[in-house]
Amino acid sequence: MTDQQVLMKVRKKATIWMEGNFDSKTKAEVKDMLDNDEPELIESFYKELEFGTGGLRGIMGAGTNRMNIYTVGMATQGLSNYLKKEFAGIDKIKVAVAYDNRNNSRLFAETTANIFSANGFKVYLFDDLRPTPELSFAIRHFECQSGVVVTASHNPKEYNGYKVYWEDGGQIIQPHDKNIIDEVKSISSIDEVLFEDKLKDIEIIGEKVDNIYLKKVKELSLSPEVIERNSDLKIVYTPIHGSGVKLVPMALREFGFRNIYNVPEQDITDGDFPTVKSPNPEETAAMEMALKKAREIDADLILATDPDTDRMGVAIKGNRNRFKLLNGNQTGTILIYYLLSKWAEKGMLQGKEYIVKTIVTSDLLTRIAGKYNVESFDVLTGFKFIADIIRKNENNKVFIGGGEESYGFLAGEFVRDKDAVISCVLLAEAAAWANDQGKTLNDLLIDIYLEFGFFKEKLHNIVRKGKVGAEEIQSMMKKFRDDPPTYINNSQVVEIYDYQTSIKKNIVTDEVSSIDLPQSDVLQFFLKDGSKISIRPSGTEPKIKFYIGVRDKLNDKSNFEASEQKLESKINAIIKSLNI
């Protein structure tokens, strides 16, 4: 399609919005684009905002490719239509709705709740912003058939999103995701959406559910006596303007920690995220204010959560008492090691326990599980796949914990999504456990490397925005798939896993076998020296992701810094070798 054809197409779609049953503010925004901003008009209308396998996520504004009450409305009506078919035998379908602090989150949540109610559903709507994992908990607690949380997680402030959950409390997966997508696509006009709620069957929920949820979180504690001895650990916590502002400090205090310091400027729940460029605890800049506070008070631990409180960032004291940020693999490693150590110590391992990690998460977690004869599952990227493993093994096996490199972790089975409230309290408990042994979390991490091997990972992103960027990302994936490298950083590629074709091939023996996971646009290269490179387009952001993992032996604690530098140099060499 030529540029002129694209422009003609978007002008035609924009005209429909000018003439249709849209509010005056929306029409004014569309008219301004038609008259004054052709590039923005194209970005806003060149396609429909895709209801993907998890829901919606996009920049807020007027247009078919933007997050607004109309795209949210059509998604909710499509979901409602599917729920009516799937649960035709239920007298009253029940759904739960939650939202975070982003601009328009409450508006989108109320719009969603009203449409659900207008479709004859019983709706449980939170009275204020709440962590995403509490929405998962509420679905299970109220025995709902589905649920929605309005959030764009850690995306920049221009974004918002809409995540859909099923009756088990996990995000939707096959076949429901595809079926819901078909229902949403079948809605051709906003006139099909039941915006007007005459039934008003909406129950406002809040503190009572908080208390039940926090009680379940408290039951996960494995070392209450250790916390009692180390209750004075200094913990700095920041919600980065998000929904963890209330429940994370409450949970830490419930566990027994007394010295919790906040970052007042970031306790303000503001969708503009005024103190950071991006509210992402994966980024150093988002942690700067917490780091400054920690240095002022000589804190022992820094915890941060993203806007919807499903991801946790961590900083610990390293060598020479300097704070260093952990990545998601390191945090997951500490949590899995702590949980399995305590389960073993307490005699709780009965041979039916397991952990779960994603295919791009450190294989160190699997090695740790192996020591304790605990089964380890690998799943595709996305916590919904971890939730699916929990659902399939319910009542037969026991889920201890699991996570993904993107700063998400879960323990226990009463929530079915990554949970930063749970992650924060268990990481703090692990810090108390280490302190009880005269160690820091950094000491504990080095001990793990000494026992299991030094695994180091890094995520390298290439951002390409808009229509042209999306095409460039697909072109990069095609090149790696059609013409894969035979050597990377002078090490032979010995295996290639292509999750799009479900085929893995041993390059040395030419042996080909199938991958027993759902198809996904992911490539993995396994090198002779033990390195692993995974490549995939992000499902929620305009970027292509390169996950690079290297490893080596660590024979002595005194060699830690030199070994870490060696592995860091190796990662940088791999990036250069891939020309990315």
Residue 539 pLDDT > 90: no
Contact by Cβ (8 Å): 83, 93: yes
SS3 94: strand
How confident is the model over 446-494, as pLDDT tens digits?
A: 999 999 999 999 999 999 988 789 899 999 999 999 999 999 999 999 9
The helix, strand and coil proportions of the chain, stated in percent and rounded to the nearest 5, come to 45, 25, 35
Alpha-carbon distance values, 152 to 130, 148, 309, 445, 541 (Å): 13, 12, 11, 32, 10
pLDDT attached to residue 53: 73
Per DSSP (E only), the strands in 137-219 are 146-150, 159-166, 202-205
- Is the pLDDT higher at 198 or at 123? 123
Its pTM stands at 0.95
Chain mean pLDDT for the chain: 96
Residue 278 pLDDT > 70: yes
Contact by Cβ (8 Å): 46, 40: no
pLDDT attached to residue 439: 97
Handedness of CA 288, 294, 300, 301 (dihedral sign): negative
Residue 579 pLDDT > 80: yes
How confident is the model over 422-431, as pLDDT tens digits?
A: 999 999 999 9
How confident is the model over 27-71, as pLDDT tens digits?
A: 999 999 999 999 999 999 999 998 877 789 999 999 999 999 999
Alpha-carbon distance values, 488 to 307, 458, 484, 530, 570 (Å): 37, 16, 10, 12, 11
pLDDT attached to residue 108: 98
Nearest Cα residue to 130 out of 108, 97, 165, 163: 97
pLDDT attached to residue 51: 85
Residue 438 pLDDT > 80: yes
Distance of alpha carbon 66 from alpha carbon 62, whole angstroms: 6
Torsion angles phi and psi, residue 20, rounded to 5: -85, -170
Counting residues of the chain whose pLDDT is more than 70, the rounded percentage is 100
Helix runs in 346-419, H state only: 364-371, 383-393
pLDDT attached to residue 411: 98
Distance of alpha carbon 307 from alpha carbon 100, whole angstroms: 7
The residue type at 254: E
Alpha-carbon 297 to chain mean position? 31
Alpha-carbon 346 to chain mean position? 31
Distance of alpha carbon 456 from alpha carbon 566, whole angstroms: 10
Residue 504 pLDDT > 80: yes
Residue 283 pLDDT > 80: yes
Residue 535 pLDDT > 90: yes
Q: Which residue has the tokens 């995540």?
A: 163
Sequence-ordered list of residues with C-beta below 8 angstroms from that of 183, at least 6 positions apart, any chain: 78, 79, 81, 82
Q: Which residue out of 44, 105, 136, 153 is catalytically annotated? A: 153
Q: Which residue has the tokens 């704070």?
A: 323
Alpha-carbon 354 to chain mean position? 21
Alpha-carbon distance values, 171 to 487, 568, 574 (Å): 38, 35, 34
Domains of the chain: 1-46 (no CATH), 50-208 (3.40.120.10), 231-452 (3.40.120.10), 455-578 (3.30.310)
Sequence-ordered list of residues with C-beta below 8 angstroms from that of 562, at least 6 positions apart, any chain: none
Residue 1 pLDDT > 70: no
End-to-end CA distance of the chain: 29
Our answer to whether residue 153 is catalytic in this structure is yes
Strand-by-strand arrangement of the 234-238 sheet: 259-262, 234-238, 301-305, 312-317, 323-326
Residue range 426-449: mean pLDDT, rounded? 98
Kindly indicate the confidence band of residue 541, based on its pLDDT and cuts at 50, 70 and 90. Answer: confident
How confident is the model over 297-339, as pLDDT tens digits?
A: 999 999 999 999 999 999 999 988 899 999 999 999 999 999 9
How confident is the model over 134-191, as pLDDT tens digits?
A: 999 999 999 999 999 999 998 899 999 999 999 999 999 999 999 999 999 999 899 9
Q: 104-117 burial string, b = 16+ CB within 10 Å, else e?
A: bbbebbbbbbbbbb
